[in-house]
Structure 1
Amino acid sequence: MKFYKAYNLCIASELQFPELIETEGEPDAIVRFGNIDDAIATQYESGKSFLGEIPEVGKFFIHSGREIVINTVPGVDEALIRTLLLGPVLCVLLRQRGLLVIHASCIDINNKGVAFMGGSGWGKSTLATAFHNHGYSVLTDDVLPIQLEGRQAIVFPAYPQFKVFPEALSSLGHDTKSLSPIYQNAPKLSYKFTRGFQQTPLPLQRIYVLDKGSEHAITKIQPQEAFVELVRHTRAMNLLTEKEFVTSHLHLCTQLIQSVSFCRFTRKPSLEDLPDLVKLVEDDIAQLTAQDDSRNVDQTSSSYSLATKD
């Protein structure tokens, strides 16, 4: 087995993952090959196991947030297996471990996480790559695990790889001829990078809900709307349907809304405008940070006034 670091986990795996960073230590989760039949889930406690099958790929058994057993169809593309494991399969495992997992990319601005949430093809990876081009570090490209600690949301980094459409990479000045699809015949390319990967978990400051429109705009959204968007863009939502997971998920969504600010980020479908979008977010975060700093100063002043009166 080899040991890898991803999503704040030490993962021991019989399947090699060239996308991940190798590490050492006691494994938090194990990925192994094994036989899987319909009776295997009955050996484990109900609600803590998931047995799923992807046609023409294989079966996946995920237990208690600690073990993934894979039984693949002979001859299946190994890159496809890795893509599924690092995406939907690990999403189930992370949710079993009590994390809120959303469909979002995340970058580091001033040592805080700034996330772009949306469905497939909405521009999450393209935006993250554009910010990376401007010197910002990236935490995750597609799967965003969040741990709620009291009123603070902590983002766990994924691994240093973008999955981006060729035309988006070309518009950002990258040579796509040397890049390969993420798996055979996939529409997106695998762009691995060695610099600008934020490996340390960060507090999450803001989530932008991506949308398409006739102009670029960032607007605040109300908590009720943010809640609907979070549920809509939670990973593995249709897979873990037991009451325990649903109740926990709704509670985590409520906690996150109380901890992080949400805005709707509307953009025109124009790759040429990516530098303008970066600037728009930079200005918005600068304004948010100034407001937070002012609020902290006011709270400090109030505390000092009360102390002097006492």
Structure 2
Amino acid sequence: MHRYQSYGLLFLSDIELPELSPAGPDALPEDGSVRIHRRAIELPAGVRDLPTWTAFGPEGVRFWWQTVGAFEVCDGGRTILVDPAPDVSDDLIAFPLLGPVLSECLRRCGYFVLHASAVDLDGQGIVLMADKGTGKSSSSAALLRAGARLLADDLVAIDPATGLIWPGFGQVKLAQENLSHQLPGQDWQARPQVHEQIDKVRVMVPELLARAPIPAARLCLLSRGRGEIPELSPLALQDRISAVLDFSYAVRFGKDGMTGDLAARHFQGAVMLARSVPLRRLELPCGIDRLDTLAPALRRDLDTQSEDRSE
């Protein structure tokens, strides 16, 4: 089996996942591992005729994408089963596997998972939350060019009890039209597209991945601005809780993913993060060419006393 290390977990996988960092033979204890197996998955009648389908249950969650196949997360997040559609490559399987499927694995392993990007800026974790097309990945790429290290792009996993952000894998997804501006050198490797409906390019930056968990210092809610420099402003506690819940990955699954004990732990985790980590509204400068002003603005904000931290 392939052995990988990501999000503080050891992954033992039947499927090759070059996005993840290889794990040495003694990297982590195998009794705390997540196992990824190719197995047949039973689905209800008619489901395989649908474009997509998701079902949550007390024992786990099952996913179906007609263009990729079926997936199941079970054993408290410690097992992921993959039942690929005919002639589907491992490269295409990785898109849902390292996205919504992995998000449920991490959530069931105790993490609070945000649909966001995160970087280690001078030893402090910066989380960037934004709607699609706002500039989340472009902003994290700008911070990497300014000396930050990548924690995660798309799936940010935080331990709500400690506030630590665990490093994911060394990849960012960038819009095709931004590649010429965003790729600073040969160390940033764009991977080929594998499906016509995927509108972003996967860019591998394994050497820029953080090597250890980093304490979350700022949660940033991004919006597009009209000025030449970024503007940061604090939010009230209730707005911070709402923002954390809105950008948690689990809300993408609707109310079915928010029931029982899992939903209660999810809300508790959101409140813990909103209370313990300052959240800023971050208005981005107008134009991708001005994103080099983002790192100085965040460093100035980090140097100030956080007036919005709540007990």
Give the TM-score taking structure 2 as reference length.
0.84
Q: 2-side partners of 1:86 and 1:56: how far apart?
A: 16
State the partner residue of 1:48. Answer: 59
Query: CA contact under 8 A between 1:14 and 1:33: conserved in structure 2?
Result: yes
Query: CA contact under 8 A between 2:17 and 2:90: conserved in structure 1?
Result: no
State the partner residue of 1:84. Answer: 96
Q: 1-side partners of 2:124 and 2:262: how far apart?
A: 28
Q: 1-side partners of 2:38 and 2:116: how far apart?
A: 29
State the partner residue of 1:235. Answer: 249
How far does residue 126 in structure 1 lie from its aligned partner after superposition?
1.0
State the partner residue of 1:128. Answer: 140
Query: CA contact under 8 A between 2:113 and 2:155: conserved in structure 1?
Result: yes
2:265 matches 1:248: yes
How far does residue 59 in structure 1 lie from its aligned partner after superposition?
0.9
Q: One-letter code of the match for 1:131?
A: L
State the partner residue of 1:308. Answer: none
2:240 matches 1:226: yes
Residue 86 of structure 1 aligns to a residue whose secondary structure is helix
Structure 2 unaligned blocks of 5 or more: 45-55
Query: CA contact under 8 A between 2:233 and 2:280: conserved in structure 1?
Result: yes
State the partner residue of 1:33. Answer: 38
State the partner residue of 2:170. Answer: 160
Q: One-letter code of the match for 2:73?
A: I
Residue 142 of structure 1 aligns to a residue whose secondary structure is strand
Q: Which 10-residue stretch deviates more, 76-85 or 93-102?
A: 76-85
State the partner residue of 1:117. Answer: 129
Larger radius of gyration: 1
Task: Please list the CA deviations of residues 30-65 of structure 1 after superposition, one character each: whole Å capped at 9, or x if unmatched.
Answer: 0011111137xxxxx952311121122211111011
State the partner residue of 1:285. Answer: 302
State the partner residue of 2:280. Answer: 263
Q: 1-side partners of 2:246 and 2:166: how far apart?
A: 21
Q: 2-side partners of 1:94 and 1:178: how far apart?
A: 27
State the partner residue of 1:203. Answer: 215
Structure 1 unaligned blocks of 5 or more: 40-44, 296-310
Number of positions where the alignment pairs a residue of Structure 1 with one of Structure 2: 285
Query: CA contact under 8 A between 1:80 and 1:182: conserved in structure 2?
Result: no
State the partner residue of 2:78. Answer: 66
Residue 227 of structure 1 aligns to a residue whose secondary structure is helix
Query: CA contact under 8 A between 1:79 and 1:184: conserved in structure 2?
Result: no
How far does residue 81 in structure 1 lie from its aligned partner after superposition?
0.9
How far does residue 173 in structure 1 lie from its aligned partner after superposition?
4.8
Q: 1-side partners of 2:43 and 2:178: how far apart?
A: 43
Q: Which 10-residue stretch deviates more, 28-37 or 162-171?
A: 162-171
Q: 2-side partners of 1:234 and 1:67: how far apart?
A: 22
Q: One-letter code of the match for 1:187?
A: D
Task: Please list the CA deviations of residues 91-141 of structure 1 after superposition, one character each: whole Å capped at 9, or x if unmatched.
Answer: 011111121100111111231211111233222211111111112111111
Q: 2-side partners of 1:184 and 1:72: how far apart?
A: 15
